[in-house]
């Protein structure tokens, strides 16, 4: 081993900051790709990454980590482990791959943006590692489902999803493009690496890896745990970026970027992880409810992190705490009801034991959300499962792109009104699911105003024919790909009193 320790020479790998002479700062760092928010060039040079690593260490570590994940996968491919997974866990894993695999690869573009347009050499180096990391995550999370493609054709969505206009993917693209592919380098550091990776995915991956192991999915568990170790490193680009902004008297800029993306991330997190934790993960394997997870990991730990930097809780905190009680339950009913519009097979997750767990974690669940399931259960038990399927589409939020669920929040007693939020702006009417979603839109209308939600497209004639089959085709879902009940309605069986059985 070379004799000099990293600390003796590391600074020489990161001091390549100089004054431009032959082009202007804006020519080399155009604001659209690198918004300095008015912080002078030299003030960025103190940018100091908390996690140091050299190229040599990186390739040594990563070669070992990759070999580990691929060897677990090689062993498990010869087993029947995938066939034996619970239907709910399969739904969670198939949803995850579709929403996340190619998106992580695209995060490499966001990292490359920081690697080119980050405003300090040290930052650009960290982002270069981040670019490699995200290439790894995109490739691993397509390679592993690819190995199981013959067993589960739905895993095709690990690759195909982002080429489609499936509504959940539109929502995910809208989030991730705003967060990194269509974002500038400084905002990306705060919104992707700090808000999303430090605040959400880093913790989510820890939780999901543990759940995977409990569910017997060692392949997914090893994958997610390995990815998390990369995220923990490259997520640390946000902190020094915030420090530079705060030191320059721009804490309000950092706070605004954080608040916008924290809410956006919450909505998609509730949709993907909320369903996964409270309905798809087998009840005996659950370590906590989604709400408990949010309270402990996101709200408590993450708040401590950003308070350390002089930032505060977002202004909409009470609304977040309110939504944590109900919004993912509403999303789950929506996803289940509109299951032909998703690429996985949703499970209802409301058998008696599961309902008992839900009631314990969310007191009042049976009286509110349970009632919808009572009706769907009756329809199934009476031999009319077709009545549990949709004939129309819901209104979709023009910010988060997720169906507006305010009526369910109102009916459950959490909202004062079932109505959505409406904004008339430059001659167009926009619909929002919540006040923070409207606020996000209003922070940067240039980014959002000309975008059409899937319902705007449906009503505006972009989707032809404007029928449910026409819309499913537009979403890239062939009849055999449309989601069906993951347990063949087994959930409705046990609760049926014998005399009502059809």
Whole-number minimum distance, CB 457 to other proteins, in Å? 11
Task: Indicate whether 151 belongs to the interface with other proteins (CB under 8 A).
Answer: yes
Tell me which stretch binds other proteins (CB under 8 A): 148-156, 249-257, 293-301, 363-371: 148-156
Whole-number minimum distance, CB 359 to other proteins, in Å? 26
Residue 32: CB atoms within 10 Å: 11
From the list 103, 196, 169, the residue with the least C-alpha distance to 453 is 169
Residue 498: CB atoms within 10 Å: 5
Cα 57 from chain centroid?
30
Whole-number minimum distance, CB 395 to other proteins, in Å? 19
- What totals of helices (H) and strands (E) does the chain contain, helices first? 23, 2
Nearer to other proteins, 414 or 489 (CB): 489
Query: Rounded to an integer, what distance in angstroms lies between the CA atom of residue 339 and that of residue 475?
Result: 13
Spell out the residues 6+ positions from residue 67 whose beta carbon is closer than 8 angstroms to its own. none
Nearer to other proteins, 56 or 417 (CB): 56
Tell me which stretch binds other proteins (CB under 8 A): 22-30, 256-264, 314-322, 430-438: 22-30
Burial 211-244 (b: 16+ CB within 10 A, else e): bbbbbbbbbbbbbbbbbbebbebbbbbbbbbbbb
Binding-site size for other proteins (CB under 8 A) equals 90
Tell me which stretch binds other proteins (CB under 8 A): 15-23, 273-281, 292-300, 316-324: 15-23
Nearer to other proteins, 323 or 485 (CB): 485
Q: Is the peptide bond before 12 cis (omega within 30 degrees of 0)?
A: no
Task: Indicate whether 132 belongs to the interface with other proteins (CB under 8 A).
Answer: yes
Task: Indicate whether 274 belongs to the interface with other proteins (CB under 8 A).
Answer: no
Tell me which stretch binds other proteins (CB under 8 A): 2-10, 292-300, 308-316, 319-327: 2-10
Paired residues of 430 in beta bridges: 423
Kindly calculate the radius of gyration of the chain based on its CA atoms and give it in whole angstroms. Answer: 23
3-class state of residue 173 by DSSP: helix
Residue window 397-436: x/- pattern of binding to other proteins, with contact defined by CB under 8 A: ----------------------------------------
- Length in residues, the chain: 502
Task: Indicate whether 317 belongs to the interface with other proteins (CB under 8 A).
Answer: no
Task: Indicate whether 177 belongs to the interface with other proteins (CB under 8 A).
Answer: yes
Question: What part of residues 345-364 is at the interface with other proteins (CB under 8 A)?
Answer: 345
The residue from 77, 135, 256, 379 that contacts other proteins (CB under 8 A) is: 135
CB 186 within 8 A of CB 29: no
Whole-number minimum distance, CB 14 to other proteins, in Å? 9
Tell me which stretch binds other proteins (CB under 8 A): 16-24, 248-256, 312-320, 348-356: 16-24
3-class state of residue 79 by DSSP: coil
Residue window 77-96: x/- pattern of binding to other proteins, with contact defined by CB under 8 A: ----------x--x------
CB 436 within 8 A of CB 263: yes
Task: Indicate whether 221 belongs to the interface with other proteins (CB under 8 A).
Answer: no
Whole-number minimum distance, CB 22 to other proteins, in Å? 4
Question: What part of residues 37-56 is at the interface with other proteins (CB under 8 A)?
Answer: 54-56
Residue window 455-484: x/- pattern of binding to other proteins, with contact defined by CB under 8 A: -------------------------xx--x
The residue from 37, 81, 139, 317 that contacts other proteins (CB under 8 A) is: 139
CB 86 within 8 A of CB 215: yes
Helix, strand and coil in the chain, % to nearest 5: 65, 0, 35
Nearer to other proteins, 128 or 204 (CB): 128
Task: Indicate whether 142 belongs to the interface with other proteins (CB under 8 A).
Answer: yes
CB 34 within 8 A of CB 127: no
Task: Indicate whether 108 belongs to the interface with other proteins (CB under 8 A).
Answer: yes
Query: Rounded to an integer, what distance in angstroms lies between the CA atom of residue 195 and that of residue 264?
Result: 10
């Amino acid at each position: 081993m070379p004799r000099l320790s990293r600390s003796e020479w590391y600074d020489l790998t990161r001091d390549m900051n100089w004054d431009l002479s032959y082009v202007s700062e804006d020519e080399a760092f155009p604001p659209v790709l690198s918004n300095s928010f008015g912080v002078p060039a030299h003030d960025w040079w103190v940018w100091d990454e908390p996690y140091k690593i050299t190229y040599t260490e990186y390739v040594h570590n990563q070669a070992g980590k990759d070999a580990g994940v691929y060897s677990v996968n090689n062993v498990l491919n010869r087993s029947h482990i995938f066939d034996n997974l619970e239907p709910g866990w399969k739904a969670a894993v198939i949803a995850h791959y579709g929403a996340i695999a190619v998106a992580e690869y695209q995060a490499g573009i966001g990292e490359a943006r920081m690697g080119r347009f980050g405003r300090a050499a040290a930052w650009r180096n960290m982002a270069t590692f981040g670019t490699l990391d995200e290439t790894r995550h995109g490739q691993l999370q397509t390679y592993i489902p690819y190995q199981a493609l013959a067993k589960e054709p739905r895993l095709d969505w690990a690759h195909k999803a982002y080429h489609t206009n499936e509504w959940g993917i539109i929502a995910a693209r809208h989030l991730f493009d705003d967060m990194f592919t269509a974002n500038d380098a400084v905002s990306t550091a705060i919104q992707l690496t700090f808000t999303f990776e430090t605040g959400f995915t880093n913790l989510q991956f820890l939780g999901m890896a543990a759940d995977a192991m409990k569910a017997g999915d060692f392949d997914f568990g090893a994958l997610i745990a390995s990815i998390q170790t990369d995220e923990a490193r490259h997520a640390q680009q946000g902190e020094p970026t915030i420090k530079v902004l705060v030191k320059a008297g721009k804490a309000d800029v950092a706070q605004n970027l954080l608040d916008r993306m924290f809410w956006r991330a919450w909505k998609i997190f509730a949709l993907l992880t909320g369903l996964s934790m409270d309905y798809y993960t087998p009840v005996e394997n659950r370590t906590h409810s989604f709400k408990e997870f949010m309270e402990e990991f996101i709200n408590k730990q993450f708040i401590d992190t950003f308070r350390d930097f002089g930032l505060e809780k977002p202004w909409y905190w009470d609304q977040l705490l309110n939504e944590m009680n109900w919004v993912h339950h509403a999303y789950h009913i929506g996803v289940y009801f509109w299951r032909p519009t998703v690429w996985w097979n949703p499970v209802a997750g409301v058998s008696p034991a599961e309902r008992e767990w839900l009631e314990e974690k969310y007191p009042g669940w049976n009286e509110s959300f349970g009632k919808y399931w009572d009706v769907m259960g009756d329809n199934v038990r009476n031999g009319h499962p077709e009545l549990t399927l949709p004939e129309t589409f819901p209104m979709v939020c023009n910010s988060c792109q997720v169906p507006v669920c305010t009526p369910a929040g109102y009916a459950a007693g959490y909202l004062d009104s079932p109505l959505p939020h409406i904004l008339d702006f430059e001659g167009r009417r926009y619909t929002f699911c919540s006040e923070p979603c409207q606020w996000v839109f209003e922070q940067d209308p240039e980014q959002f105003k000309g975008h059409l939600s899937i319902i705007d497209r449906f009503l505006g004639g972009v989707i032809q024919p404007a029928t449910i089959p026409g819309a499913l085709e537009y979403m890239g879902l062939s009849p055999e790909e449309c989601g069906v009940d993951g347990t063949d309605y087994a959930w409705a069986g046990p609760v049926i009193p014998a005399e009502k059985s059809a």
